[in-house]
Amino acid sequence: MPVTVIESLDHEGRGVARVGGKAVFIEGALPGETVEYEVHRSRPNYEQAHTLRVVRASALRVAPRCPHYGVCGGCSMQHLDSSAQAAIKQRVLEDALWHVGRVRAGIVHTAIHGPAWGYRDRARLTVRLVPSKGGVLVGFHQRRSSYVADMHTCPVLPAHVSAMLPALHELIAGLSIPDRLPQIEIARGDAATVLVFRNLLPLNAADEARLAAFADTHGVQVWLQPGGPDTAHPLYPRDVPSLCYTLPEFDLRMDFRPTDFTQVNVHINRLLIRRALQLLEPRAGERIADLFCGLGNFSLPIARSGAEVVGVEGSEALVQRAGENARRNGLAGNTRFYAANLFEATEDSLAALGPLDKLLIDPPREGAIAVVKALGPQQRPKRIVYVSCNPATLARDAAVLVHEKGYVLSGAGIANMFPQTSHVESVAVFDYSGS
**Per-residue pLDDT reduced to its tens digit, 236-279:** 998 888 899 999 999 999 999 999 999 999 999 999 999 999 99
Q: Residue 23: is it exposed, middle or buried by C-beta count within 10 angstroms (0-12/13-18/19+)?
A: middle
Statement to judge: residues 262 and 338 lie in one domain? yes
Q: Point out the catalytic residue in the list 136, 268, 309, 389.
A: 389
Summarised one tens digit per residue, pLDDT across range 115-132 is 999 999 999 999 999 998
Name the domain boundary from 205, 220, 240.
240
Statement to judge: residues 359 and 417 lie in one domain? yes
Q: What's the domain range around 26?
A: 1-61
* Per-residue pLDDT at 434 exceeds 80: no
Domain assignment present for 312: yes
Bind-site residues for [4Fe-4S] cluster: 66, 72, 75, 154
The Cα 337–Cα 261 span in angstroms is 17
Statement to judge: residues 18 and 136 lie in one domain? no
Name the domain boundary from 240, 271, 306.
240
Statement to judge: residues 232 and 331 lie in one domain? no
Domain assignment present for 69: no
Statement to judge: residues 359 and 271 lie in one domain? yes
Statement to judge: residues 260 and 345 lie in one domain? yes
Domain assignment present for 87: no
Statement to judge: residues 338 and 272 lie in one domain? yes
Summarised one tens digit per residue, pLDDT across range 50-82 is 999 999 999 999 999 999 998 998 898 999 998
Q: How confident is the model at residue 10 (pLDDT cuts 50, 70, 90)?
A: confident
Bind-site residues for S-adenosyl-L-methionine: 263, 292, 297, 313, 341, 362
Domain assignment present for 83: no
What length does the chain have? 435
Look up the CATH number of the domain holding residue 361: 3.40.50.150
Statement to judge: residues 313 and 390 lie in one domain? yes
Bind-site residues: 66, 72, 75, 154, 263, 292, 297, 313, 341, 362
Look up the CATH number of the domain holding residue 179: 2.40.50.1070
Domain assignment present for 270: yes
The Cα 196–Cα 73 span in angstroms is 22
Statement to judge: residues 103 and 161 lie in one domain? no
Average pLDDT of span 220-235: 96
CA angle 75, 87, 264 (to 5 degrees): 45
Q: Reduce the secondary structure of the chain to three states and give it as a string.
A: CCEEECCEECCCCCEEEEECCEEEEEECCCCCCEEEEEEEEECCCEEEEEEEEEEECCCCECCCCCCCECCECCCCCCCECHHHHHHHHHHHHHHHHHHCCCCCCCEECCCECCCCCCCCCEEEEEEEEEHHHCEEEEECEECCCCCECCCCCCCCCCHHHHHCHHHHHHHHHCCCCHHHCCEEEEEECCCCEEEEEECCCCCCHHHHHHHHHHHHHHCCEEEEECCCHHHCEEEECCCCCCEEEEEHHHCEEEEECCCCCCCCCHHHHHHHHHHHHHHHCCCCCCEEEEECCCCCCCHHHHHCCCCEEEEEECCHHHHHHHHHHHHHCCCHHHEEEEECCHHHCCHHHHHCCCCCCEEEECCCCCCCHHHHHHCCCCCCCCEEEEEECCHHHHHHHHHHHHHCCCEEEEEEEEECCCCCCCCCEEEEEEEECCC
Statement to judge: residues 230 and 250 lie in one domain? no
Domain assignment present for 85: no
Statement to judge: residues 325 and 220 lie in one domain? no
Domain assignment present for 210: yes
Number of domains in the chain: 3
Look up the CATH number of the domain holding residue 50: 2.40.50.140
Statement to judge: residues 313 and 407 lie in one domain? yes
% of the chain beyond a pLDDT of 70: 100
pTM over 0.85: yes
Domain assignment present for 110: yes
Question: Is residue 293 among the annotated active site residues?
Answer: no
Prior bond of 237 cis (ω within 30°):
yes
Name the domain boundary from 175, 210, 240.
240
